[in-house]
Structure 1
């Protein structure tokens, strides 16, 4: 017989990363389990190679320098880079994209955004600035080095709002895109959720708790 499920309230931390916001939106119960029972993550060689790809993009633009990052802040965690040959193939693929000929305004731009009383932190891969004399607009680009085309637009929504508020410009003047480096495909999800939608996501429960169902036990 199966024992009755029980519900445990897991407190949402006051500070989140952009990736954690995505996991919360996609799978609240799974995210609650992570918070309730954190497990150590094994070393990820592919992620380290993804970090090197991001560093290579930065070093490619000589006017920009690589910021000093803490290990947990390094980009590339979504990478699926098999080996050094695959990393070289990614670099070659980037050279064939439209962004190889454009110099970013900022790379690995850090941000801190307060949503529903919680701080969301992260880094934006690249920001491009366009000034036509009458209006300044920005384009945020996130490099995707994996093989699947499954990036979550919520990530860009957070980045877009953070950059707009950091620069003191309306969100409408900021566009955002994923660059799937392997294929050169550029995807610009539209529309992106604004502050109100993000506030609802993180502030639906004023107690800051995520109801989390778990089995109390099982028997045969």
Structure 2
């Protein structure tokens, strides 16, 4: 049998590498902010877990952390975030925790702009009932595996007109396409389910919203996915 060419061998190696990522199990604990990464690109996400690359905190990350801290302090409430899972939380899509002590003059200026925009928002005059609250709950994503634990960090929860509203503050880029918007809503669907599981509030009495502060853009999900739809999206992403 003839030996494969160098180029063919490289393609075969890449195919084998992709197949190898399938055998790596999904971590038991899945941050809600990462759920969409699995759904949008399951193999890529698993591959990144298998070969993690060190990430340096960057300026946008730090600014997001500073803004979240300011909103929490402004509320007068204390978040329930002291747990071993703190490092898994995100201030924004793809952004890891950053040390606010490294604040620069540029950070202070940009934070001031975000604060002004928040003060113009519909939530400026409202008092949240919870801030920075972690809610974990089990979800059976695959019938052949034990439940995975969804880690949900709720930025703010309000009671409005007899309903519950969960809001996630975003300081990053807003979705550009309808598909991106749908993917971002996966996180909110998990938050809605988490609150329902924790407090017993009917799902149809829980509203969810993303507030992209830099753009002063509010995205609401009036028809948030239910548990079956979330599981279906996950399983579809895992199919070879």
Q: Give the TM bin, normalised by the shorter chain.
A: 0.7 to 0.9
Equivalent residue, structure 2, for 1:180: 212
The one-character-per-residue Cα deviations of 1:179-220 (angstroms, maximum 9, x if unpaired) are 121232211123221111222344569xxxx578xxxxxxxx
Pair 1:2 & 2:38 matched? no
Pick from 94, 103, 125 the counterpart of residue 101 of structure 1: 125
SS in 2 for 1:40: coil
Q: Is structure 2 residue 232 aligned with structure 1 residue 200? A: yes
TM-score (norm 2): 0.75
Q: State the TM-score, normalizing by the size of structure 1.
A: 0.82
How many pairs are equivalent? 202
* RMSD, matched Cα: 2.4
2:81 equivalent to 1:51: no
Larger RCO (CA within 8 A; separation ≥ 6): 1
Q: In the alignment, which of 11, 19, 22 is matched to residue 33 of structure 2? A: 19
- Structure with the bigger percentage of strand: 1
CA–CA separation in structure 1 for the residues paired with 2:139 and 2:236: 12
User: Of 47, 50, 57, which residue of structure 2 is paired with 1:36?
Assistant: 50
- CA distance in 2 between counterparts of 1:41 and 1:175 reads 34
In the alignment, is the contact (CA less than 8 A) between 1:94 and 1:182 conserved in 2?
no
CA displacement 1:58-101 (0-9 Å, x = unmatched): 11122x1244546515542447x963211110011100111101
Instruction: Write the deviation string for residues 21-77 of structure 1: whole angstroms up to 9, x where unpaired.
Output: 111011111111112212222223321221110110111122x12445465155424
Moved more, 40-49 or 92-101: 40-49
Deviates more, 1:20-29 or 1:41-50: 41-50
Which runs of 5 or more structure 2 residues have no equivalent in the other structure? 1-6, 96-102, 141-146
1:53 match: secondary structure: helix
CA distance, structure 2, for counterparts of residue 149 and residue 91 of structure 1:
21
